[in-house]
Chains A and B, each alone.
Chain A
Amino acid sequence: MVPPQQDHDLVYNLRLSSVGPGCVTGSDVVHDLSGLDLTMKLHYLKAVYFFSSHAVEGLTIMNMKEAMFYLLNDYYITCGRIKRSESSGRPYIKCNDCGIRFVEGVCDETVDEWLETDDDSKRNLLVYHRAMGPELSFSPLVYLQVTQFKCGGISLGLSWAHILGDAFSVSNFINNWGQHMAMVNVNSSPALAPRSLTNTAKPEAPSEPLSAKQVNHVRDLWVLANNCKMETFSFNLTTQHLLNLQAKIGSVSAFDSICALLWRAIAKVREGFEPQIVTVCRKDPCHDDNNVLGNNQIIRTIKASFLVGESDLNKLATLIANDQGQVYDERNRIEAAVEKDNGSTDYIVYGSNLTFVNLENAGLYELELNGEKPKLAYYSIQGVGDEGAVLILPLPHGSAAENEGEPRYLVNLTLPEGQVFKLKAELKRASLL
């Protein structure tokens, strides 16, 4: 029997449109980009949410678009386009209601079939991603792809320019949309007023930031050129793994222990070129307001003064968990460095050092359609530098008796191709894979 010809791609029938705010924003509304925003311009966040058919019963594309009109009334900044200032060439966002790009697609697999054979390259089909530029004023900042599966379930693929905001902003954005879908009264946000940079005194720059690295000028095409091919893979950490970890490492949080474990494993793989400095990004607890859009996450660098590959896990974990000592909050430094030449140098943050991002309290599973949470919420970063990045995502777990095989965390790593194979072997040895 000849297998049936696949005369179209796995995800086909792509239809594009733009969705803008329901109300006019007005003319000459401008959102200035801070120094921290500008360092993130080469990074993009890709988020995928999978929903079962039960969650989207009775919901049409038109319902989703309608909820978007209301959502975008508040988030009109995401509907703008990048323009460069006449005098200095510094990018800013002109809020001209151009809209976000909305893509519809169809897939012939069911959601469960997809999730079984899920991997990074396959997931790229669910997120319509285009880099910003070369025509910046015609490049949307946000792409949203809704893919219909054979069983009736859908996936939401969001491609978000990091210049707009961090992963916590993305989660807020999509959660707010979920609330509009349910027509729950959402408090419209005064906190989303566009930022205008006044000429404040430039912050003191004691030294160069450790977590942001300069790269070659990219002009108007915002794509990061890596020196080697990067590969992404992910694996689940079950309750059993966590219990084992806790046995080895004392009283630190799960995130810190996972970071320590991975840092040591990667150091072993890169013997001779161990990462002595890592960057850790996590949510700023002060900025807990639900509606804030921006790059507000805490960025810290951690410097190890000893050999990491052979070190004790406990020592590493306490180093990471410590708030003082060799731990620095980098945000002011980055801001100062960028402002020094008014944003004309290009930087990257993720991948300038080995970066760990903690998405535990990003509220990934707060999005609800028809009262149901997503089956899986998956975030990844596009445009990671050569040192690599690791994202720690929570997984929904049953509230009943936690059996030991139940996955609790999803770890998503982006590393140079050559190192991935060796790292997988290393993790197998540590009985994590």
Chain B
Amino acid sequence: MNQRGVATTNGGSGSGSVGVRIQQSRRLPDFLQSVNLKYVKLGYHYLISNLLTLCFIPAIAALSIQVSQMNLDDLRQLWLHLQYNLVSIIICSAILVFGLTVYIMTRPRPVYLVDYSCYRPPDHLKAPYGRFLEHSRLTGDFDESSLEFQRKILERSGLGEETYVPKAMHSIPPTPSMAAAREEAEEVMFGALDTLLRNTNVSPKDIGILVVNCSLFNPTPSLSAMIVNKYKLRGNIRSFNLGGMGCSAGVIAVDLAKDLLQVHRNTYAVVVSTENITQNWYFGNSKSMLIPNCLFRVGGSAVLLSNKSNDRRRAKYKLIHVVRTHRGADDKAFRCVYQEQDDAGKIGVSLSKDLMAIAGGALKTNITTLGPLVLPISEQLLFFTTLVVKKLFNASVKPYIPDFKLAFDHFCIHAGGRAVIDELEKNLQLLPIHVEASRMTLHRFGNTSSSSIWYELAYIEAKGRIRNRNRIWQIAFGSGFKCNSAVWQALRNVKPSSNGPWEDCIDKYR
């Protein structure tokens, strides 16, 4: 079943249940039919998933019947056969044992997520709408149309009144400086790391790998050196600082840590994802660059990964897959999120108008690769069948969109903005409960860039929805244009850690 070589797009958002029929039906979907079809599909799914078990039972039954009918004579016959074919049997079993050993030795080492923590900034950094607009007006850098534009974007953004803005932006006029940016980075990273180390009881000397990602702020010495300095990490630590990689850098950092954990045995890896807003506020009037002012907010997360086998008992999740897709080869995708100077010389990040279309395309590429890895056999068979039918019989059949709700129990979609979440909800045919974590994170914390997927996971945990063996899909988009996903599996019924970001306000989000 080779679907990797197939690079077809999975089409737009058709209704999945209608796609099973071969005949072209352009009339409105018949709801009664589609409800019945839903149950047929579910039955088919259960059948295929448990096919092996179902075939196994009759085989066991037949075998047991045969065994019960055997007598001593038959056993002697069997023993004679064995003696005559000793050499071939020994060779076969040697090959079997050898193959098994090679297989076991080359299995990738499991990577466990022991714990993670997200930073919750102090109350005085909150930026309610009224104050945001008043301060923006008082800077004097924005003209009337820019202020009006920002107000409209803010109202439609999906952000609440409790999102956090760095301290330098609260003074009138704002005082962005390198020292203030360092201070913001320190507050966020150290805040998250302090909670993480306290919750997991890990000594800083045990950490062997450190990966930090922060797209827009890259001082010398790097942010990872800042962490090594503060926590007195050991001298032979493998530290990495990823800069400029956008909002999907969180998953990239986890991927890097995962690869390093294959090489270095028996150690801990810490992944810190953050973003820095202090020096990246746009003070000009170009409309495409004003949107980040309204969306990006202060936040950061720290994740502890481990490849020690005895951590399996206390770890929350196991990393199953990481899939990274890069659309930078396409010029339009490359210029989609671009940091440049506007006509007046002010630096800002401009978002192009076809951001949504490109994001949709990147998503399709990503799930085409991810699909075969995670989808149950039933869905893959359906997809393969429709594909074969389409190719061979050339019938104008709508391509089948696999139902990802069967593959995953929880979705953490990067909270890039309300438009992104709406688009994904439509494209993947998700229910509101699946995108609830993304919407609530956007409302409470704003777009915290690479760490938003961790805030969303913390939300789902705080709601108590994660049960043993549940699979979680984290998907993040970023400049480039990149779309990266990570798939985790819960190892137990996960309870939220103490000092979580949602601790004091989860009740407001019922």
Asked if B183 CB lies within 8 Å of chain A CBs, one says no
Q: Assess A16 versus B124: contact at CB under 8 Å? Given A24-B161, A97-B130, A99-B131.
A: no
User: In the complex, are the beta carbons of A69 and B129 less than 8 A apart?
Assistant: no
Q: How close is B446's CB to chain A, nearest CB, in angstroms?
A: 14
Residues of A within 8 A of B137 (CB): 138
User: In the complex, are the beta carbons of B171 and A16 less than 8 A apart?
Assistant: yes
Q: List 25 A-B contacts (CB under 8 A).
A: A15-B171, A16-B172, A17-B170, A17-B171, A18-B131, A18-B170, A19-B124, A20-B131, A22-B123, A22-B124, A24-B126, A24-B128, A24-B161, A66-B124, A69-B123, A69-B124, A81-B130, A81-B134, A96-B129, A97-B128, A97-B131, A97-B161, A99-B131, A101-B172, A138-B134
Asked if A48 CB lies within 8 Å of chain B CBs, one says no
Q: How close is A190's CB to chain B, nearest CB, in angstroms?
A: 21
For A98, the closest partner residue in chain B by CB is B130
Residues of A within 8 A of B172 (CB): 16-18, 101
* Cβ 8 A contact of A96, one of B123, B126, B130, B135: B130
Q: How close is A36's CB to chain B, nearest CB, in angstroms?
A: 26
Across chains A and B, which 4 residue pairs bring their CB atoms closest together, nearest first?
A96-B130, A16-B172, A98-B130, A97-B128
Q: Give bound CA distance, A23 to B171, whole Å.
A: 20
Asked if B186 CB lies within 8 Å of chain A CBs, one says no
Other A-B contacts than A17-B170, A65-B124, 17 sampled, CB-CB below 8 A, are A16-B171, A16-B173, A17-B171, A17-B172, A18-B170, A20-B128, A22-B123, A22-B124, A23-B123, A24-B126, A66-B124, A96-B128, A96-B130, A97-B131, A97-B161, A98-B128, A101-B172
The residues in A between 74 and 125 inclusive whose CB is less than 8 angstroms from any CB of B are 81, 94, 96-99, 101
Asked if B425 CB lies within 8 Å of chain A CBs, one says no
Q: Give bound CA distance, A46 to B56, whole Å.
A: 88
Asked if A27 CB lies within 8 Å of chain B CBs, one says yes
Residues of A within 8 A of B170 (CB): 17-18
Q: Give bound CA distance, A18 to B173, whole Å.
A: 11
User: In the complex, are the beta carbons of A18 and B135 less than 8 A apart?
Assistant: yes
Residues of A within 8 A of B126 (CB): 20, 24
Q: How close is A103's CB to chain B, nearest CB, in angstroms?
A: 9
Residues of B within 8 A of A96 (CB): 128-130
Q: How close is B356's CB to chain A, nearest CB, in angstroms?
A: 28
The residues in B between 405 and 421 inclusive whose CB is less than 8 angstroms from any CB of A are none
Q: Give bound CA distance, A18 to B135, whole Å.
A: 9
The residues in A between 1 and 57 inclusive whose CB is less than 8 angstroms from any CB of B are 15-20, 22-24, 27
Residues of B within 8 A of A65 (CB): 124
A-B interface contact total, Cβ < 8 Å: 48
Q: Assess A98 versus B124: contact at CB under 8 Å? Given A16-B172, A24-B161.
A: no
B residues with a Cβ closer than 8 A to A are 123-124, 126, 128-131, 134-135, 137-138, 161-162, 170-173
Q: How close is A423's CB to chain B, nearest CB, in angstroms?
A: 41
Q: How close is A85's CB to chain B, nearest CB, in angstroms?
A: 17
For A70, the closest partner residue in chain B by CB is B123
Residues of B within 8 A of A98 (CB): 128, 130-131, 134
Q: Give bound CA distance, A19 to B135, whole Å.
A: 12
Q: How close is B195's CB to chain A, nearest CB, in angstroms?
A: 21
Residues of A within 8 A of B123 (CB): 22-23, 69
For B174, the closest partner residue in chain A by CB is A17
Residues of A within 8 A of B135 (CB): 18
For A27, the closest partner residue in chain B by CB is B161
Residues of B within 8 A of A81 (CB): 130, 134
Residues of B within 8 A of A15 (CB): 171
Q: How close is B163's CB to chain A, nearest CB, in angstroms?
A: 11
Residues of B within 8 A of A69 (CB): 123-124
Q: How close is B482's CB to chain A, nearest CB, in angstroms?
A: 35
Q: Give bound CA distance, A94 to B131, whole Å.
A: 12
Scoring B126, B129, B138, B173 by chain A CB atoms within 10 A of each residue's CB, the highest score goes to: B126
For A19, the closest partner residue in chain B by CB is B124
Q: Give bound CA distance, A196 to B207, whole Å.
A: 59
Q: Give bound CA distance, A15 to B172, whole Å.
A: 7
Residues of A within 8 A of B128 (CB): 20, 24, 96-98
User: In the complex, are the beta carbons of A18 and B134 less than 8 A apart?
Assistant: yes
Q: How close is B86's CB to chain A, nearest CB, in angstroms?
A: 81
Residues of B within 8 A of A99 (CB): 131
For A140, the closest partner residue in chain B by CB is B134
Residues of A within 8 A of B171 (CB): 15-17
For B123, the closest partner residue in chain A by CB is A22
Q: Give bound CA distance, A372 to B481, whole Å.
A: 62
Q: Give bound CA distance, A178 to B129, whole Å.
A: 29
Q: Give bound CA distance, A15 to B173, whole Å.
A: 8
Q: Give bound CA distance, A20 to B132, whole Å.
A: 12
Residues of A within 8 A of B131 (CB): 18, 20, 97-99
Q: How close is A367's CB to chain B, nearest CB, in angstroms?
A: 22
Q: How close is B462's CB to chain A, nearest CB, in angstroms?
A: 19
For B132, the closest partner residue in chain A by CB is A98
Q: Give bound CA distance, A236 to B125, whole Å.
A: 44
Q: Give bound CA distance, A98 to B124, whole Å.
A: 12
Residues of A within 8 A of B134 (CB): 18, 81, 98, 138
Q: Give bound CA distance, A206 to B384, whole Å.
A: 89
For A139, the closest partner residue in chain B by CB is B134
Q: Give bound CA distance, A138 to B132, whole Å.
A: 11
Scoring B124, B126, B135, B173 by chain A CB atoms within 10 A of each residue's CB, the highest score goes to: B124
Residues of B within 8 A of A16 (CB): 171-173
Q: Give bound CA distance, A298 to B161, whole Å.
A: 39
Q: How close is A172's CB to chain B, nearest CB, in angstroms?
A: 23
For B135, the closest partner residue in chain A by CB is A18
Contact with B along A265-303 (1 / 0, CB 8 A): 000000000000000000000000000000000000000
Scoring A16, A20, A66 by chain B CB atoms within 10 A of each residue's CB, the highest score goes to: A20
Q: Give bound CA distance, A16 to B135, whole Å.
A: 11
Q: Give bound CA distance, A23 to B138, whole Å.
A: 24
Q: Give bound CA distance, A22 to B124, whole Å.
A: 6
Residues of B within 8 A of A66 (CB): 124
Residues of B within 8 A of A97 (CB): 128, 130-131, 161
Q: Give bound CA distance, A183 to B131, whole Å.
A: 27
Q: Give bound CA distance, A101 to B131, whole Å.
A: 11
Q: Give bound CA distance, A134 to B172, whole Å.
A: 19
Q: Give bound CA distance, A97 to B123, whole Å.
A: 13
Q: Give bound CA distance, A326 to B406, whole Å.
A: 86
Q: Give bound CA distance, A20 to B161, whole Å.
A: 12
For B172, the closest partner residue in chain A by CB is A16
Q: Give bound CA distance, A81 to B137, whole Å.
A: 15
Q: Give bound CA distance, A314 to B94, whole Å.
A: 125
For B171, the closest partner residue in chain A by CB is A17
Residues of A within 8 A of B124 (CB): 19-20, 22, 65-66, 69
For B162, the closest partner residue in chain A by CB is A24
For A97, the closest partner residue in chain B by CB is B128
For A96, the closest partner residue in chain B by CB is B130
Q: Give bound CA distance, A94 to B130, whole Å.
A: 10
Q: How close is A66's CB to chain B, nearest CB, in angstroms?
A: 7
Residues of B within 8 A of A22 (CB): 123-124
Q: How close is B139's CB to chain A, nearest CB, in angstroms?
A: 11
Q: How close is A239's CB to chain B, nearest CB, in angstroms?
A: 46
Q: How close is A84's CB to chain B, nearest CB, in angstroms?
A: 16
Q: How close is B507's CB to chain A, nearest CB, in angstroms?
A: 14
Q: Give bound CA distance, A99 to B171, whole Å.
A: 12
Residues of B within 8 A of A24 (CB): 126, 128, 161-162
Residues of A within 8 A of B161 (CB): 24, 27, 97
Q: Give bound CA distance, A66 to B123, whole Å.
A: 10
Q: How close is B48's CB to chain A, nearest CB, in angstroms?
A: 50
Residues of A within 8 A of B162 (CB): 24
Q: How close is A65's CB to chain B, nearest CB, in angstroms?
A: 7
For B173, the closest partner residue in chain A by CB is A16
Contact with B along A122-139 (1 / 0, CB 8 A): 000000000000000010
Q: Give bound CA distance, A24 to B134, whole Å.
A: 17
Q: Give bound CA distance, A69 to B135, whole Å.
A: 18
For A73, the closest partner residue in chain B by CB is B123
Q: Give bound CA distance, A84 to B137, whole Å.
A: 19
For A138, the closest partner residue in chain B by CB is B134
Q: How close is B181's CB to chain A, nearest CB, in angstroms?
A: 18
